[in-house]
Amino acid sequence: MAGTLTIRSERVDDISLLVAQLDRMGVQPLLDEHFPIHGNWVGLSLGWVTVLWLTHLLSEPDDRLNHVEP
């Protein structure tokens, strides 16, 4: 008889799929090409910041109606 079988399951969320789709669409290089950044910009490029921001917006939908005033 064989040894014990260990099953490990991992949840696959939509974040990796969204980043892959935005990468396939070429959003990051397109934004970096057409929108130059300021000389003091440090860190990720504008294209990557936009890709990550869009990924967050699309993966965390909040469809509740929030009232500003009663």
Confidence label for 70 from pLDDT (cuts 50, 70 and 90): low
Q: Has residue 7 been placed in a domain?
A: no
pLDDT of amino acid 48: 94
Q: Has residue 34 been placed in a domain?
A: yes
Q: Has residue 68 been placed in a domain?
A: no
Residue with the bigger pLDDT between 66 and 52: it is: 52
- Counted domains in the chain: 1
Query: Look-up: residue for tokens 């969204």?
Result: 18
Write out pLDDT tens, residues 24-60.
999 999 999 999 888 888 999 999 999 999 998 888 8
Q: Which domain holds residue 39?
A: 15-59
Q: Has residue 50 been placed in a domain?
A: yes
* Euclidean distance between CA atoms 49 and 27, whole angstroms: 11
CA angle 36, 19, 64 (to 5 degrees): 100
Q: Has residue 2 been placed in a domain?
A: no
pLDDT of amino acid 33: 93
- Per-residue pLDDT for 1 more than 60? no
